Structure 1
Amino acid sequence: MRHIILVTGAGKGIGKAIAVEFARYSERNPSFEPVLVLASRTSGDLETAAAECRKYGAETDCITTDIAEAANAVRLAETVIERYGTVDCLVNNAGVGRFKPFTELTEEDFDYTVATNLKGTFFLTQKLFPVMEQQRKGHIFFVTSIAAEKAFKTSSIYSMTKFAQKGLLEALRLYARECNVRITNVMPGAVYTPMWGEVPEEMQSMMMMPEDIASAVSGAYFLPERTSVEELVIRPVGGDINE
């Protein structure tokens, strides 16, 4: 069966790992035929991710865009609907952060983080949800963070946006329950991704990998449609970093 799956922030990190995990699943299960629509700001990263997905025989479609602009988020949704007529799964993974002491954060840091994490996520989801609502099926994942429930000293703005994402998905779930659409909040702890920058080897050994999150997401997606995993809290076995 064909599944139209849109993954934002798909060029690297968790987003790329989720796309590849869906592709790998399709190789093992020929009845699952995904069309992986990969969206990101960097075309080179997207092509690399798409090439890896294609190794497993999955169809891919790369769209270079920056959803920090609301118009781009809306255009991305419209493009998916124009090309495929539907969407079965939306993975809201695109996210950014600036990590500094509270008093050192600037208005530019604020605008940069809020634009992607809140504005882009909101308007993309707002445009695609009615499609799922009408077809009475679909699955929306929000890759938030444990920072959506727990604050860290250097993540004031980032945590603010993740708390807000959690508020959005909880409100959306009230609508989704009326039309059989599944909403899953994915809250990872420390995952070794480019967002962390330079990480000492000792710290890397304590962190999770993007593939760990991807396997949990695919597991939730492939449960029977009557079943909804509402939250996935995934932490390193040793607990939070810089707790």
Structure 2
Amino acid sequence: MEELKNKVVLVTGGGRGLGEAVCHTLASAGASVVVADIRDELAQKVAGEIQANNLQAMPLVIDVTDEVQAETAINKIVSQYGRLDALINNAGTDVTVSIEELSIQDWDRIIAVNLRAPFILSKFALPVMKEQGSGHIINISSTAAKRAWANASAYHASKWGLLGFSHALHVEARPHNIKVTALVAGGMQTPFLLDRFPDIDLTKLQDPKNVAATIRFLLSTPEGTVISEMMVLPMGEGSWP
């Protein structure tokens, strides 16, 4: 099925992990996908793989924490495609150290990528979506927005903040027929976890393709209905009820 045919979707952090899975999944559903990543080689790789399957994709190099680059990116997409139907704020980062060991610079960077960037991109995407009378913003939150564990203070702060921002954005956007969803995702088999925790039990993590399929579902929900928050967990995750 091509339920997303003629839809233009911007995916941040699209070069690997969940972002990569989302780009492939949405392209297969007919969307024109903008693969946005800070690393040019990753954006080019994923976009090239999609294009090789005769599907639509455009690589985009962006530092999501830079408001000038964010605004330029939105303008470039609208210039290229004439519209922007969905924004998937997926880019994320973390440092696994205690509060005492966490540098102020790392705190600022984590908050900038995980929380400030979704605000910036949403701010620039909203006028486009308002003008076209529709749109959907999906912010990738985490179970870290629902509970807490040691050595992830900045990550928790950013994801709790992103969840709150998503609900505030939902209130402001819905009168303009713009949907906003906070997707609270449990652990995934992605470099985000595997690079830092090589001994992690893979059976407790979900395939990012499953979460990507959830995003495809969210973008395919009927007009007149919005899912403002959804949680998607691995079946084997034992740290959540």
CA shift, 1:116, in A, is 1.2
Preserved CA contact (<8 Å) 2:43 2:59: yes
The answer to whether structure 1 residue 78 and structure 2 residue 75 are counterparts is: yes
Output the amino acid matched with 1:116.
Answer: V
The answer to whether structure 1 residue 93 and structure 2 residue 61 are counterparts is: no
Preserved CA contact (<8 Å) 2:170 2:228: no
The more displaced of 160-169 and 53-62 is 53-62
Q: How far apart are the structure 1 equivalents of 2:196 and 2:152?
A: 17
Output the amino acid matched with 1:176.
Answer: A
Which of 122, 128, 131 is equivalent to 1:131? Answer: 128
**Unaligned segments of structure 1, at least 5 residues:** 27-33
RMSD of equivalent CA atoms: 1.8
Map 1:23-42 to 2 at 5 A.
23-26=27-30, 34-42=31-39
Preserved CA contact (<8 Å) 2:204 2:238: no
Aligned length: 236
Q: How far apart are the structure 1 equivalents of 2:39 and 2:131?
A: 32
Preserved CA contact (<8 Å) 2:139 2:183: yes
Normalised to the residue count of structure 2, the TM-score between the two structures is 0.91
SS of 2:96's equivalent in the other structure is coil
Q: How far apart are the structure 2 equivalents of 1:112 and 1:142?
A: 18
**Unaligned segments of structure 2, at least 5 residues:** none
The answer to whether structure 1 residue 9 and structure 2 residue 6 are counterparts is: no
| Corresponding position of 1:31 | none
| Corresponding position of 1:209 | 207
The 1:198–1:153 alpha-carbon spacing in structure 2 relative to 1, beyond 3 Å, is closer
| Corresponding position of 2:111 | 114
Output the amino acid matched with 1:223.
Answer: T
| CA offsets 1:121-141 (integer angstroms, 9 cap, x no match) | 211110111111222211110
Q: How far apart are the structure 1 equivalents of 2:238 and 2:180?
A: 25
Which of 20, 24, 39 is equivalent to 1:20? Answer: 24
CA shift, 1:37, in A, is 0.9
| CA offsets 1:162-204 (integer angstroms, 9 cap, x no match) | 1111121111111222011111111111112111215446611
CA shift, 1:242, in A, is 9.8
Which of 63, 66, 80 is equivalent to 1:66? Answer: 63
Normalised to the residue count of structure 1, the TM-score between the two structures is 0.91
Q: How far apart are the structure 2 equivalents of 1:171 and 1:8?
A: 21
Output the amino acid matched with 2:51.
Answer: R
| Corresponding position of 1:29 | none
Map 1:231-242 to 2 at 5 A.
231-240=229-238
| Corresponding position of 1:30 | none
SS of 2:24's equivalent in the other structure is helix
Output the amino acid matched with 2:230.
Answer: L
Output the amino acid matched with 2:217.
Answer: G
Q: How far apart are the structure 2 equivalents of 1:117 and 1:130?
A: 22
The answer to whether structure 1 residue 227 and structure 2 residue 217 are counterparts is: no
The answer to whether structure 1 residue 173 and structure 2 residue 170 are counterparts is: yes
Preserved CA contact (<8 Å) 1:189 1:240: no
Which of 39, 48, 52 is equivalent to 1:51? Answer: 48
Map 1:152-167 to 2 at 5 A.
152-167=149-164
Identity %: 28
Q: How far apart are the structure 1 equivalents of 2:94 and 2:232?
A: 19
SS of 1:177's equivalent in the other structure is helix
CA shift, 1:56, in A, is 3.5
SS of 1:178's equivalent in the other structure is helix
The answer to whether structure 1 residue 183 and structure 2 residue 180 are counterparts is: yes
| CA offsets 1:47-69 (integer angstroms, 9 cap, x no match) | 22112322442211111111122
Output the amino acid matched with 2:147.
Answer: K
